[in-house]
Structure formats: structure tokens, C-alpha cells
Amino acid sequence: RLIDAARKVVYHTQPKYHYLRRDDSLSAQNYRPELRDCVESKMFIHQYISEKYPTLAHYSEQSCLWTHFFLLDAMMLHSGAVDREDKKKTIAYLRKNMNKILCNSIYTKARKLALLTLMIHPSLYKTFPYFLI
């Protein structure tokens, strides 16, 4: 909503800041159901941008896709129980957007291969070497 108040907005691909990852932050911890909040906030932002600034929707969509991958990776690496419905929704979202991921150069070949294993069966995705993604 801050974009609405701005007189001018500029997008550039050159990095201008770096994230500081804290061990106690939501995104740095192992899977837990609250990680879904990250996905929900990205989806809310994407919906808002799509409605108000459709020419920028592609960028917010990329953020949604990355966040879904992040959540799925956390679920797959987690040794305990995960919310089955949450996992199904996350996989369904990535499957639905498979072509967007496969046709986008921001995703590595390894990430695309991992996605293809997910299309075959989630158990295969779980065995994919995460250090390559």
C-alpha cells in the first residue's frame, strides 16, 4: 500500500540491499505451520499488486512461487509431522504454475529438475539434493 502513496516507483534488478538472516526469524527456522504465514502474506501482496498495478504482477508472482518452494523445501526436510493439507496446497500451487517456472530463466536447472520430480511424485522431490537447488 506504500506504493499507492509514492509519486514514483522504480524497479531495477541490481541488488541494492542485503537481507540479514537471524536464526530466530520465521524464514530461517525449520518447518512449522506458522511458515504458511509467509506464503499467505506473499499471496496477499500479489493479489493487491495484480489488481492495482497489473504491469508489476509478474514480479510479485515470482515472489509467491519462490515462497512456495521455500515452504515445500522446509516441509520435505522436516523430520516430524507436517500439515497434510498445507503440503497438498503448496504442491498444487507449484504444479499449477509449472510452465511459468520452467520457462523462467531466474530458476536454476536444478530447481526445474526438482520441480519435474515433484510432478512425478512428491517422494522423488524429497530425495532431490537440496544443495543443488
Give the Cα-Cα-Cα angle 97, 3, 89 (nearest 5 degrees).
25
Q: What is the pLDDT of residue 91?
A: 95
Q: Which residues contact 77 (CB under 8 A, 6 or more apart)?
A: 30, 31, 130
Binning pLDDT at 50, 70 and 90, where does residue 65 land? very high
Output the average pLDDT for the chain: 84
Binning pLDDT at 50, 70 and 90, where does residue 3 land? confident
What is the C-alpha R_g of the chain? 16
pLDDT digits 0-9 by tens, 5-59: 889 877 777 777 666 656 565 555 577 778 888 899 999 999 999 999 899 899 9
Binning pLDDT at 50, 70 and 90, where does residue 81 land? confident
Neighbouring CB atoms inside 10 A of 84's CB total 9
